[in-house]
Amino acid sequence: MYLPFQEIEAEELNDKDPEFIRIHSLETFGTHDGPGIRMVVFAQGCQFRCLYCQNADTLDVRGGQLVQIDELVERAKRQIGYFGTDGGVTVSGGEPLLQRSKLITFFKRLHDEGINTCLDTNGRLLDDQVKELLTHTDLILLDVKHINEEWHRKLTGVSNKPTLQVAAYCESIGLPMWLRYVLVPGWSDQPEYVEEWGKHFTDYKCIQRVEILPYHKLGTHKWEMLGMDYGLPGVEAPSAEIKKRTLDIFKKYFENVQLR
């Protein structure tokens, strides 16, 4: 079973084994987590409790395995020939910012090798270490799961204010962003809130892309494996009508909108 919130918050301050990153898994030749072909490192541990989490096995901050940063850098170097001009390394999760100080070291090392860095995050934290990490980040993939505070708490168990602060900070320093929105029928498909989401970000200059990620149930077996009750029983994938409606709304506010 995963840890309750109070233990997770304490774990954020615990930086043992600075030369190691606790990861869940690693993917080579990834094509869905940033531009080009990428090596994707899935960090272990997360503070959100999304009702639809497709990787519930990444939640426990004490799970996964410790992998030396040197090893990850060497793996990335062996893939440079496949990265081309657009690819590189993405750290996803789980939630990478739980290990932000280690990622500073990792991203610095990657930049020393001329490797592009991408951070896929829920934006739960914005402290001095996160700000330093962002100076070594070429692109941020930011999940803004709901624009409404109450609905965000229902979906994730936490406030959306830190995520919006991270977005605003990235805009202020000119960091390129891809924003992601998980489309869940009955939970995040309300037209009035999709409109509000679009209006909130429409004047941002650093948003290169908005991705709509339709909800699916592919990760439910992991909840069962962990002995957990799935958070959205009975909710089905969004219909073609819901997807088109959401796409049309976002296209009013952003030039580059992708329906995944």
Residue 10 has pLDDT above 80, yes or no: no
Contact criterion met (CB below 8 Å) for 134 and 168 = no
Residue 37 has pLDDT above 60, yes or no: yes
Domain count across the chain: 1
* Domain hosting residue 50, numbered range: 5-259
HEC letters along the chain: CCCCHHHHHHHCCCCCCCCEEEEEEEEEEECCCCCCCEEEEEECCCCCCCCCCCCHHHCCCCCCEEEEHHHHHHHHHHCHHHHCCCCEEEEECCCHHHHHHHHHHHHHHHHHCCCEEEEEECCCCCCHHHHHHHHCCCEEEEECCCCCHHHHHHHHCCCCHHHHHHHHHHHHHCCCEEEEEEECCCCCCCHHHHHHHHHHHCCCCCEEEEEEEECCCCCHHHHHHCCCCCCCCCCCCCCHHHHHHHHHHHHCCCCCEEEC
What CATH code is carried by the domain that includes residue 46?
3.20.20.70
Structure confidence by residue, pLDDT tens digits, 130-165: 999 999 999 999 999 999 999 999 999 999 999 999
Instruction: Work out the mean pLDDT of the chain and round it to a whole number.
Output: 93
Structure confidence by residue, pLDDT tens digits, 96-116: 999 999 999 999 999 999 999
pLDDT of residue 12: 54
